Amino acid sequence: MTTKRAAIFDVDGTLVDTNHLHVVTWWEAFRQAGHHVPMREIHRAVGLSGGDLLDHLLGDGADRDLDENERLTAAHHALYATYFERLPALEAAGDLLRALAGRGWGIVLATSASGAELTALRSAIGADDVILGATSADDVADGKPAPDPVQQARELAGVPSERAVFVGDTVWDMKAAVRDGAVPVAVLSGGIPRADLEAAGAHAVYRDPADLLARLDSSIFADLE
């Protein structure tokens, strides 16, 4: 029987304090294109891949100009990229990853970010020495809440679902973990209410990475060791 185990982490809102930057930059991209989308609705959609986010907020993409989708996505990326050099890691994010790696966990990131954005996020976390790899929206057919990103991350670590814990900050993260069979653990640092995360399947909820690190010995991570 394998003794391997994987700690899989979402990034935005979970390890790096970027959810509200995404809200503002998506809002501005929509505004420039003549769409009036409330920020509260954008916030609830953060964590979906770009195409799924647009479908969720603007309706089925089949009814929209595909060129507009590309323009909206490009505008959001350009606006968000202005923050790449100063993305703020959440307190103890890197320390949490190193502590888990020291306890024998394989660390993998599962995020909708890719390319230069993912590079900037990893730089903010500052724990590349313990990260085995990362899966992005470019690596899977369907993003969260489909299980594909979690499954792909598990495959990078070489573990079955019952030996994996997925930590995220959105209902999309929790649903993806549940569908994969990994243990869903939530943090409140992305701004989503505890009740919503628990309703989506969260096994446990922590304030932020620092809170999880402080309670690691009584967490599901300790139970699976």
CA distance 190 to 10: 11
Could you give phi then psi for residue 150, rounded to 5 degrees?
A: -70, -45
CA 202 from centre of chain: 14
Q: Interhelix angle for 115-125 vs 66-81, to 10°?
A: 30
Taking the CA atoms of 80, 86, 90 and 96 in sequence, report the sign of the dihedral they define: positive
pTM of the model: 0.95
Taking the CA atoms of 186, 14, 168 and 51 in sequence, report the sign of the dihedral they define: positive
Q: Is the peptide bond before 145 cis (omega within 30 degrees of 0)?
A: yes
| Residue range 162-210, pLDDT digits in tens | 999 999 999 999 999 999 999 999 999 999 999 999 999 999 999 999 9
Domain residue spans of the chain: 6-17+88-224, 19-82
Does CATH place domain 6-17+88-224 in 3.20.20.140? Answer: no
Q: Is 126 left (phi over 0), alpha (psi -120 to 50) or beta?
A: left
Query: Residue ranges of the alpha helices (H) in 11-169?
Result: 19-32, 39-45, 50-58, 66-81, 93-102, 115-125, 148-157
CATH architecture classification, 19-82: Orthogonal Bundle (1.10)
Q: Is the pLDDT of residue 137 over 70?
A: yes
In the chain, % of residues over pLDDT 90: 86
Residues in the chain: 225
CA distance 37 to 195: 24
Taking the CA atoms of 165, 167, 171 and 176 in sequence, report the sign of the dihedral they define: negative
| Residue range 49-82, pLDDT digits in tens | 888 999 999 987 656 677 888 999 999 999 999 9
In the chain, the amino acid numbered 149 is P
Contact 111, 121 (CB under 8 A): yes
Per-residue model confidence (pLDDT) at position 1: 35
